[in-house]
Amino acid sequence: MTQTLVRYSKVVEIVGDILKVRVPTRGGNTQTRVAFDDLALVEDPGGGFSSLARAIRIDRDLVSLQVFAGTKGLSTEASVRFLGHPMQVTYSANILGRVFRGDGEPFDTAPDLSQDPKLDIGGPPANPARRLLASKMIRTDVPMIDVFNSLVESQKIPIFSVAGEPYNQLLARIGIQADADIVVFGGLGLIFDDYHYFLRRFEDAGVFARTVMFVNLASDPVVERLLVPDMALAVAERFAVEEGKRVLVLLTDMTAYADAMKEVGIAMESVPSNRGYMGDLYSQLARRYEKAADYKDGGSLTILSVTTMPGDDVTHPVPDNTGYITEGQFYLHDGVIDPFGSLSRLKQHVIGKVTREDHGQIMNTMIRFYSGARDAEQKQAMAFELSEFDHRLLRFGRLFRERFMNIEVSLPLEAALDLCWQTLAECFEPADLLMKQQLIDKYFPRLDDPHDAVA
């Protein structure tokens, strides 16, 4: 008789969403046969309760379970049956264009997928020997990304922001415009309006057929929030390895994920570390982010996530630990991607190599002049006397914000580079650029009056 048919009814205690049950050992063994991460079915016939749960701690014969649906209405008269396998998610070509809940069940009314193949979630990252060095760019048509901090295949990079910033709008735009084969979206603790916004944007843009969505709403059980990144990454990894697809994973919001880990840790009576978060916060985040890879003889998996910073505090444990794991960050501030707070540590692998020859120099020149424009604005605010060159910088700063920093701007990379040259020509002389002469001769547009103001 297999263990999956055995019911265990010795529920010791229920704390938060954690249920502890005693599983008797056999044959003189001191350890139960239940494995870590095994799924279980928790039932309480008296209250009509039934939910999946996951084994998260095993102490001899005492097993702690995370109950997915929460423990409201659950009593110590409940029974537990172990299923003998970890959490699984549906994987097949049929999941494209579908929406799933945090427990892996379909969220829509499309055809049933119960007979489709399943795969375990939460496996180890790819063997480094099977990875390739990042060398290919993912075009997003967002100038502040493509021109100044290029997104590279196999990169893991967050969007650092604060509540109220349009980070979901930016994430949706990238998901729509990115030249990836498949987009896997993971929503963590979303309010319904945000979920509906992503769904409508993907459908209206005609990209929903290449998209898979895993969504945990704010009203859903907190425990399911911990499963969404693992399900999204498991599916993305399989598409990349077996189908050779270029997969882009979008996750929002990883701070909600960390908060869910904190809540579960407190229920398990774990000793908290910095600001109440558990001591394994770094390793838990790294385990997910390290799934990003460019696979030999396969496709690639790129992770772009949102990490909100409570109080705009970059030293908060979640963004602080994330910064040590990821390969840069996009800093969304005042509704725009801040060029000074943003960084892509892999952009040097593609700029000037798979992009146009002038990309590197035009990027540096634009940022140099925009930094000068910020200084000129400070001088103007303090009523200092401005030189003629300062006035050029002020004009450049205004054009830079209008043409490039607005997240609603959509431009292919080559058009954005041409617009960079156009903007420089409207504000400066060729001698002011300090760039290679052959690039100036080839790309610098000749205007009748380079100092004409632009409306």
Architecture of domain 3-86: Beta Barrel (2.40)
Mean pLDDT across the chain: 90
User: In the predicted model, what is the mean pLDDT of residues 119-135?
Assistant: 86
Between 106 and 29, the higher pLDDT residue: 106
pLDDT, tens digit, for every residue of 354-389? 999 999 999 999 999 999 999 999 999 998 999 999
Rounded Cα distance, 308 and 220, in Å: 20
pLDDT, tens digit, for every residue of 74-98? 888 888 999 888 899 999 999 999 9
pTM over 0.95: no
Residue 158: beta bridge partners? 305
DSSP type of residue 450 = T
User: In the predicted model, what is the mean pLDDT of residues 432-445?
Assistant: 93
* pLDDT range class, residue 449, cuts 50, 70, 90: low
Quick one: tokens of 97? 């264009």
pLDDT at 192: 95
Cis, peptide link before residue 37, omega less than 30° from 0: no
Quick one: tokens of 408? 């609603």
pLDDT, tens digit, for every residue of 222-274? 888 999 999 999 999 999 999 999 999 999 989 999 999 998 888 887 888 88
Amino acid in the structure at residue 317:
P
Architecture of domain 89-348: 3-Layer(aba) Sandwich (3.40)
Amino acid in the structure at residue 423:
T
Provide the residue ranges of all domains of the chain, joining segments of one domain with +.
Answer: 3-86, 89-348, 359-443
pLDDT at 1: 37
List the one residue out of 434, 400, 424 whose CA is nearest residue 444. 424
Q: Could you tell me what percent of the chain has a pLDDT over 70? A: 95
Place of tokens 């929406």: 99
The kind and range of the H/E element at 62 are strand 62-67
Amino acid in the structure at residue 365:
T
**Are 138 and 329 in contact, with CB atoms under 8 Å apart?**
no
pLDDT of 451 over the 60 cut: no
pLDDT of 3 over the 70 cut: no
